[in-house]
Amino acid sequence: MLNASALPDDVVLCDADSRGRMVEVLVSEFRTAFADIEYEVDTQTRIVNAQAFLQSGRRFVRLYGGLVLHPLTNDDALVFSLLHETGHHIARGRRFAGDPSLACDCLADKWACGAGARELRRRSGRILNLTKAFRSLDDILAPNDVGSGSASRRRSQQPQACWANFWSTRKSRLSDGGVSEPTDPCYFY
């Protein structure tokens, strides 16, 4: 899961037809690029999130309404979110200890910005603008970043520390290429 917070009631969700068309195009591009994964959009919830999961042997990626319809979400933020969640299914390496069928967040991020973005571009022509994605996600996620204190900064500087729970650290490491290759099972789930 990228994030798991519900939007406050004072945030008015975007229900414009243009948003719906943009989301349909993105999901269609992902279905074409990654045909063995099923993509769903749940606009009935205000949860700011996206999720990868397995059900009956089938691989799913679901976007939730609080992220898809948030007025500050741009198409690059959705592309990054979709790539990240797809990366849970496709990235090789460290797995979640609680669900070994899914790659950890660190590897899902790394795959999204590298191999995933390249494959999406090759198959659909869609280019991920990471700077625009991060600006949009900053506006949405940073106010709820649980890693804003000094203790989290100390933890995130450890070589094998999981930085996935701290949006500001994730963004920084992805931007500067400082993504480590974790090897032990991930207990952050």
- Position 81 in a domain: yes
What does the mean pLDDT of the chain come to? 82
Give the containing element (helix H, strand E) for 171.
helix 167-176
Does pLDDT of 110 surpass 70? yes
For residue 178, pLDDT beyond 70: no
Domain limits for position 24:
5-176
- Give CA angle at 83 (116, 173), nearest 5°: 85
| CA-based nearest residue to 106, from 31, 187, 36, 30 | 187
- Residue 182: inside a domain: no
Asked whether residue 134 is domain-assigned, the answer is yes
pLDDT of residue 152: 37
Percent of the chain with pLDDT over 90: 55
Instruction: Tell me, yes or no, whether 63 lies in a domain.
Output: yes
DSSP tag of 149 = S
Whole-structure pTM value:
0.83
In a domain, 184, yes or no: no
Is residue 12, in this structure, part of any structural domain at all?
Answer: yes
| Pair 189, 53: CB distance under 8 Å | no
| pLDDT tens-place string over residues 136-164 | 998 887 665 544 443 333 333 344 455 55
Structure tokens at 53: 């999961």
Asked if residue 14 belongs to a domain, the reply is yes
Does residue 72 fall inside a structural domain? yes
How many structural domains comprise the chain?
A: 1
